[in-house]
Amino acid sequence: MRISDKPVAARLAALGVELRPGVSLQDLTSLGIGGTTDLLLIRRYDTLPGVIRELKNEGVAYKFLGGGTNVLVADGELPWVMLHLPSAKPGVRVEGNFAYVDAAADLGGTVTFCAKNDLGGMEGLIGVPGSIGGALRMNAGAYGTQIGSYVREVELYRAATGENEILRGEEIRFDYRHTSFGPDDVMLRVKLELPSKPYQEIVAGIKVCNEKRRASQPLNQKSAGCIFKNPPGASAGRMIDELGLKSFRVGDAMVSDRHANFFVNAGHASFDDMIGLIDEVRGRVKTSFGMDLENEVIFWRN
């Protein structure tokens, strides 16, 4: 969708929005798949309710793009514009045991920044790609750590009220790769409470997690991390591996030869290639193990 030529573009500019016409989602997602649309950079969180009201009044559909590491986006001209909160590095401020983090801040960068201030707890999250906002929305987790455990307050745009609000940690449910945030809520800032730990100890923990991850995950290939959630008591990766599906491909979408729950873009994979691979693997797991695999990655179809 293009809004560059509409009067709405001028009104958005007055709200401090920077418009980048015709960007490719291939360049903005870790899978390297996706079509083209206008990108709106929102530099001031307080203008967000006004920006969204403007888009709704004009009938302009929109979606929010965070780090782009957990989405599979349709090809071609996309029927919505992308909104994005650019990150100002480091986007983190520490006060005692609290870290105040912008949603746009990089998750790994935040873990490192906190470590330098002798605040630990999030070592397991070090290699998880993406932004703090995406990590919050999905309750990102790895190696026994989930970000939700440390959340004390979240400032967000509430789609239900059309305003920015602050939620206390106890008002939010954090489950396995799922939270109680509404689908159109937008994360803005978070207050984390982290345990004090000496820097060297945190670094040692980070090193162990990095080594485990390097040994088991295809870090140098284009992927969106794990494609499926693990069903209760089972491992999606192990089941797909047991079916001999490592390196199985549909077009240029391929099951990683390293970790079977990572599906990689091994060339110029299209949205349909990746969907075809996901459907085929899901079907085979259902037939052989009787398990319904739920997507972890979010699909943006057009």
Binding residues for ligand EPU, rule: CB under 6 A, are: 142-143, 216, 225-226, 229-230, 235, 237-238, 241, 259-261, 296
Nearer to ligand EPU, 200 or 216 (CB): 216
CB closer to ligand EPU out of 110 and 230: 230
CB of 50 to ligand EPU, least distance (A): 34
193/241 with CB nearer ligand EPU: 241
Give whichever of 126 and 250 is closer to ligand EPU, judged by the CB atom: 126
Q: How far is the CB of 227 from ligand EPU (least distance, A)?
A: 8
Of 216 and 288, nearer to ligand EPU (C-beta) is 216
Percentages helix, strand, coil for the chain, rounded to the nearest 5?
30, 30, 40
H helices of the chain, in order, are: 7-14, 48-57, 107-116, 132-138, 199-216, 236-242, 271-289
Peptide bond between residue 129 and the one before it cis (omega within 30 degrees of 0):
no
Q: How far apart are CA 32 and CA 263, in angstroms?
A: 12
Q: Residue 221: how many CB atoms within 10 A of its CB? A: 18
Q: Return phi, psi of residue 148, to 5°.
A: -55, -30
- CB of 4 or CB of 216, closer to ligand EPU: 216
Decide whether 17 or 132 has the Cβ nearer to ligand EPU: 132
Q: Would you say how long the chain is, in residues? A: 302
Provide the minimum distance between the beta carbon of 56 and ligand EPU in the complex, in angstroms, as a whole number.
32
Q: Which two tokens stand for residue 65?
A: 């793009």
Bridge partners, 192 (sequence order): 99, 151
**What totals of helices (H) and strands (E) does the chain contain, helices first?**
7, 19
Q: Which residue has the tokens 């920044």?
A: 113
End-to-end CA distance of the chain: 11
Kindly state the smallest distance separating residue 261's Cβ from ligand EPU, in Å.
5
Please, what's the largest Cα pairwise distance for the chain? 57
State in angstroms the smallest separation of the CB of 255 from ligand EPU: 9
Spatial CA neighbour of 132 closest among 148, 116, 115: 148
Structure tokens at 241: 């591996």
**For ligand EPU, which residue has the nearest CB?**
225
